[in-house]
Amino acid sequence: MTSLKQKNFTISLIISICLVGLSAAFAADFDRTVIPRVKYGGGGDWYTGPTSMPNLLKQASERLHLPTQAENIAVSVSDPELFRYPMLFLTGHGQVRFSDFEINTLLNYLDNGGFLWVNDSYGIDRFIRREVRRIYPDREFELLPSDHAIFKMVYDFPEGLPKIHEHDGKPPAAYALFDKGRMKILYTYESDIGDGLEDAGIHKVDTPEIREKAMRMALNILAYVMMQ
């Protein structure tokens, strides 16, 4: 059986190779990985959990040996800077709404190698599904099986997406939108990985074990995106 140390070494090598081979659309990228959060309209709190991405990027540097810039950065879809980032993070509670221009921009971004991770922090399900249908009206989310590669990139999750926050008590589910075999959007539903990545003490119910579970899953997601 492959040890965690061996798997970490392997994935670090894969990531290093893939960073060199990113799409030409992101040729002007930073030399350090940054994952900005997406600003959106509609009244939802796109800014929630400001420590989640910096914490993930710090751990990606320490555990995956990936050069990162561990900062909380936000970007609007209408901002040309969007195309500097190979991966985006969207989270919040409640309404999410994009303009027609932003929908077209997201389509262009995703079709040119970009990746969007949507984290259900609670209450965004119907809004996200509506907006994704506007981007890809002829495509549907696919439920990822527990044996999908994303659940065993660095850490093994034999049961699939872990449950971090209870919310409605529904089972967690990972949905993805694919095009020509490439995952373009990952939607983590009824799990709230993002909240589990925040600083200790922000969510009193998040034990160290729960926070570690969230971090491991997030590192799997990042490794999977970099491997594509």
The two three-digit tokens of residue 11, written as one number? 């994935």
Q: How many CB atoms lie within 10 A of CB 80?
A: 9
SS3 state of residue 104: helix
Domain count, the chain: 1
Query: Are 214 and 165 spatial neighbours (Cβ–Cβ below 8 Å)?
Result: no
Residue with tokens 């589910």: 173
The two three-digit tokens of residue 176, written as one number? 């993805």
Pairing state of beta strands 182-189 and 115-120?
A: parallel
Residue 87's domain is classified under what CATH number? 3.40.50.12140
Q: Look up the domain containing 96 and give its range.
A: 4-227
Per-residue pLDDT of the chain (228 residues; tens, 9 = 90+): 344 644 664 555 455 545 544 444 454 444 678 999 999 999 889 999 999 999 999 999 999 988 898 899 999 999 999 999 999 999 999 899 999 999 999 999 999 999 999 999 888 999 999 999 999 999 999 999 999 999 999 999 999 999 998 777 789 999 999 998 999 999 999 999 999 999 987 777 779 999 999 999 999 999 999 888
The two three-digit tokens of residue 121, written as one number? 């922090």
